[in-house]
């Protein structure tokens, strides 16, 4: 391996096979046996075991065996659904693992932290989480937070080891796995990975992605507990009433257990877990990583998007467009090299000298490309100059300087670049000169260009001063860069506006640049904006008054983002906030939904965020809103279906006692229905596309309840309609067929087919989608499987006998079909009647 190019790809792969991945032993996850145990401990299956015991006590072994067969099928279905959700979360854990920027084959590439091997050359910058134990080869003002390892909160200064030092590296020459770069940059070689790193040796356990309990899950769990308690009481009363009125305690107990099974909405917690987990998985396929699952729940309620300009609204692909020197300007676009006047060369020359030679910042990379192109072959490129020191950008001074020594001069040359006002301040210009340059900056910024000032100084002393202000700088000129707006941004912002979502741009750029980009992006600004200085001058009450019609915030410092987020929240907005830097973490935490940039963002921002945009673009952010609305809308449809489907089951369990009929539904019948209800909830409705027009509706209220009055009313109306159809089928069939078994046969057929109609009626609630729906393959398979199973239950004598069915005649089958179609029409009519309320 050559130090300058790092490992080759083949060598890295060989070392990875030899040493294993760079990861610590993961916390124990639910294995197959544990997950299966969790399934069989659920109340529904405990009730089934009780029913099987009663069948054995009644001497009906065939019923008991059939019940156990169905139990096995339902357990398998539930197990598969849980495994599917677990697999989706495992995929998200892999995506959320730390990343590292390494040199492979001489090129910088970003790899998963797990893929690091001993010998890799790693590039570190402010905000990075150190992915392994690294020996420093180069370091510039590097400080590291090692509190995860030592408990000490004070950052530690690190230094590169000298080339002549052949002994073991000292602690101040090492960066340890799990520590955090708080300032500076560095390059180092990996010396230990995984359990052999400092973090691995002390046995620390890093938490992965966890499934938090969301407010909706808490609300659902509370409702399920209340319904279960009420159901248990009613079931006990039914069992006692049956036993007292008919003197049959075992059958009464069976009737009570059947009613308990009918009332218990055990699907709801499973539905919520699967919807949120698979929603996060679907977002990951759109290159949006969900680090905290509750964020999926709030996406649909977002009213305000606070976004950065660079890389989110723009492409983050800088190009130098214009140079300015003493009143003269030069446009670089589509110009031959020989037309650039010599007076403009120093602007590029000192801009290059003030940048890193191996730049990763898009702005510095653009300056380097322009310098190599326009200064090629001239005396203005200094590849043989030696870097003496540098002064990094700071919160107090938005400028950076690099100190160089040429081979033939004793004096040191200092090159600086930064925000024009910072460079003007460094040059100590008179007021008239300041005004003139500020006017030129405003002109360039008004064209949507990002403007940098460039300055130079000569320093003769050996000992460098502590701050940049101690150099005697002179202004060289201005350099303007362009970062074009992404092509899809105007349409995405228009979609947000139609959806009732405001977009606020928060940037550190010059006001004129920010306003120009805002107009190109499609924001309605009308010149209104607030600067960082304005924010400092406004108290909280005055700021609140300004927020309702201000969409552009410029020259904003990272710490001011937190105040803006808190102010927006105080006025009732549901805020999604983007960020990429170390200092953005508090604002990301304070927002309802923190969104980190996955490509250019720091590890600190990623860890503080709820979502990570792996593509760093605004379109992905709008996609998350779309998915959030889809998840919440489909959850409501699934819950309406669950509640409506349970109502006729409860009615059929109570009717025999109230009407003096024999038992209509047995536990086996309810298990059969579970084969429809469970996959319909967790597969069919979850796979439904977003309703047409959903992104033209205002956001839902953040305090909107999942189980509101409109949802319960629709469920009751649909469930009562299905119950009426089922009871009608039972009465008519029992009268014409002459037996309770004939009535049970038709009632069950109506119930099963009516459930399919109930699903179809609730797949869409939008008026514009009343016609043919988008293809939902899951629904097609459920319809096919249900019809086949129902045909087997009705047509095969041995199976029909277990269900206590009789072979239905053609008129009875026609009756069942007509009642099922009537149920579908009734449910669809209820959706149309109450449209807009659920």
Residues identified as active-site? 308
Q: What dihedral angle (degrees, nearest 10) is formed by the CA atoms of 654, 660, 666, 671?
A: -30
Q: Which residues are within 8 A (CB) of 734 and not within 5 positions of it... i.e. 6 or more apart?
A: 740, 742, 743
Cβ atoms of 486 and 314 closer than 8 Å: yes
Burial 79-115 (b: 16+ CB within 10 A, else e): bebbeebbebbeebeebbbbbbbbbbeeeeeebbbbb
Cβ atoms of 400 and 438 closer than 8 Å: no
Helix ranges (H only) for 247-382 are 249-263, 267-285, 294-298, 345-353, 362-374
Burial class (CB in 10 A: 0-12, 13-18, 19+), 129: buried
Give the CA angle between residues 759, 762, 767 to the nearest 5°. Answer: 145
Q: Which residue has the tokens 């179609």?
A: 821
| Three-state SS sequence of 690-727 | CCCCHHHCCCCCCCCCCCCHHHHHHHHHHHHHHHHHHH
What single DSSP character describes residue 59?
Answer: T
Q: Left, alpha or beta for 127 (phi > 0: left; psi -120 to 50: alpha)?
A: left
Closest CA to 320 of 447, 415, 449, 443: 449
Helix ranges (H only) for 609-708 are 618-659, 667-679
Centre a 10 Å sphere on the Cβ of residue 571 and count the other Cβ atoms it contains: 12
Whole-Å CA distances, 314 to 217, 310, 484? 38, 5, 5
Three-state secondary-structure class, residue 24:
coil
Six-digit token string for 316 = 């983050």
Cβ atoms of 351 and 420 closer than 8 Å: no
What single DSSP character describes residue 5?
Answer: T
Six-digit token string for 713 = 């009313």
Three-state secondary-structure class, residue 420:
helix
Q: How far apart are CA 453 and CA 472, in angstroms?
A: 15
Q: Write out the H or E segment, with its range, that includes residue 517.
A: helix 511-521
Give the CA angle between residues 346, 350, 352 to the nearest 5°. Answer: 120
- Report, in angstroms and rounded to the nearest whole number, the Rg of the chain calculated over CA atoms: 34
* Main-chain dihedrals φ then ψ at residue 265, nearest 5 degrees: -85, 65
Three-state secondary-structure class, residue 390:
strand
Angle at which helices 740-762 and 777-795 pack, to 10 degrees?
A: 180
Q: Strand ranges (DSSP E) for 460-501?
A: 474-482
Q: How far is CA 215 from the centre of its chain?
A: 17
Give the CA angle between residues 512, 517, 519 to the nearest 5°. Answer: 95
Q: How far apart are CA 329 and CA 169, in angstroms?
A: 52
């Amino acid at each position: 391996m050559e130090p300058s190019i790092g490992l080759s790809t083949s060598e890295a792969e060989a070392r990875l096979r030899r040493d294993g991945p760079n990861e610590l032993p993961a916390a124990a996850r639910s294995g197959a046996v544990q997950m299966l145990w969790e399934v069989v401990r659920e109340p529904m299956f405990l009730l089934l075991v009780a029913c099987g015991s009663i069948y054995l006590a009644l001497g009906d072994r065939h019923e008991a065996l059939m019940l156990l067969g169905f139990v096995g099928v339902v357990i398998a279905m539930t197990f598969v659904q849980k495994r599917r959700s677990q697999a989706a979360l495992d995929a998200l854990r892999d995506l959320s693992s730390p990343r590292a920027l390494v040199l492979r084959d001489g090129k910088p590439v970003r790899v998963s932290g797990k893929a690091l091997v001993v010998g890799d050359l790693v590039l570190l910058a402010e905000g990075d989480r150190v992915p392994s134990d690294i020996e420093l080869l180069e370091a510039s003002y590097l400080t590291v937070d090692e509190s995860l390892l030592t408990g000490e909160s004070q950052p530690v200064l690190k230094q590169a080891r000298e080339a002549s030092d052949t002994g073991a590296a000292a602690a101040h020459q090492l960066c340890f796995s799990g520590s955090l770069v708080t300032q500076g940059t560095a390059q180092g070689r990996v010396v230990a990975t995984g359990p052999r790193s400092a973090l691995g040796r002390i046995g620390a356990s890093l938490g992965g992605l966890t499934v938090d309990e969301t407010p909706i899950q808490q609300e659902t769990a509370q409702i399920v507990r209340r319904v279960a308690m009420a159901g248990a009481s009613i079931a006990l009363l039914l069992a006692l009433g049956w036993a007292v009125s008919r003197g049959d305690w075992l059958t009464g107990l069976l009737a009570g257990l059947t009613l308990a099974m009918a009332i218990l909405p055990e699907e709801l917690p499973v539905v919520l877990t699967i919807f949120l987990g698979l929603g996060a998985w679907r977002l990951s396929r759109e290159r949006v990583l969900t680090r905290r699952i509750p964020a999926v729940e709030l996406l649909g309620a977002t009213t305000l998007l606070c976004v950065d300009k660079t890389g989110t609204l723009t492409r983050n692909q800088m190009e130098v467009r214009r140079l300015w020197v003493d009143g003269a300007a030069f446009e670089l676009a589509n110009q031959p090299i020989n037309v650039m006047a010599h007076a403009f060369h120093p602007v590029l020359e000192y801009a290059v000298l003030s940048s890193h030679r191996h730049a990763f910042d898009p702005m510095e990379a653009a300056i380097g490309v322009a310098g190599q192109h326009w200064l090629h072959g001239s005396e203005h490129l200094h590849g043989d100059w030696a870097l003496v020191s540098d002064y990094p950008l700071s919160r107090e001074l938005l400028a950076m300087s690099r100190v160089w020594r040429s081979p033939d001069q004793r004096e040191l040359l200092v090159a600086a670049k930064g925000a024009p006002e910072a460079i003007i301040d460094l040059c100590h210009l008179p007021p008239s000169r300041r005004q003139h340059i500020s006017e030129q900056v405003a002109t360039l910024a008004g064209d949507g260009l990002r403007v940098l000032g460039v300055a130079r100084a000569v320093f003769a002393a050996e000992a460098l001063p502590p701050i940049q202000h101690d150099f005697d700088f002179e202004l060289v000129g201005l350099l303007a860069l362009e970062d074009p707006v992404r092509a899809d941004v105007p349409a995405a912002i228009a979609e947000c506006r139609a959806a009732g979502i405001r977009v606020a741009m928060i940037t550190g750029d010059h006001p004129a640049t920010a306003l120009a980009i805002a107009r190109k992006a499609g924001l309605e600004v009308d010149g209104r904006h607030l600067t960082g200085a304005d924010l400092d001058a406004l108290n909280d009450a005055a700021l609140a008054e300004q927020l309702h019609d201000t969409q552009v915030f410029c020259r904003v410092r990272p710490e001011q983002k937190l105040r803006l987020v808190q102010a927006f929240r105080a006025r009732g907005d549901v805020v999604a906030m983007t960020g990429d830097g170390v200092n953005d973490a508090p604002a990301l935490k304070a927002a309802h939904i923190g969104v980190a940039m996955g490509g250019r963002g720091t590890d600190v921002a990623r860890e503080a965020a709820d979502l990570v945009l792996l593509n760093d673009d605004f379109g992905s952010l709008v996609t998350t809103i779309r998915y959030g609305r889809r998840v919440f809308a489909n959850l409501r449809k699934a819950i309406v279906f669950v509640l409506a489907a349970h109502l006729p089951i409860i009615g059929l369990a109570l009717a025999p006692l109230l009407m003096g009929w024999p038992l209509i539904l047995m536990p086996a019948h309810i298990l059969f229905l579970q084969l429809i209800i469970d996959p319909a909830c967790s597969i069919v409705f979850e796979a439904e596309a977003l309703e047409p027009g959903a992104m033209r509706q205002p956001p839902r209220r953040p305090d909107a309840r999942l189980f509101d009055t409109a949802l319960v009313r629709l469920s009751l109306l649909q469930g009562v309609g299905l119950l009426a159809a089922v009871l009608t089928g039972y009465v008519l069939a029992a009268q014409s067929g002459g037996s309770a078994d004939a009535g049970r046969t038709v009632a069950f057929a109506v119930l099963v087919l009516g459930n399919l109609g109930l699903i179809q009626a609730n797949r869409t609630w939008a008026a514009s989608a009343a016609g043919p729906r988008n293809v939902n393959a899951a629904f097609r398979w459920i319809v096919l499987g249900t019809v086949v199973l129902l045909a087997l239950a009705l047509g095969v004598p041995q199976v029909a006998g277990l269900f206590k069915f009789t072979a239905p005649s053609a008129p009875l089958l026609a009756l069942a079909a007509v009642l099922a179609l009537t149920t579908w029409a009734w449910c669809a009519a209820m959706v149309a009647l109450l449209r807009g309320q659920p």
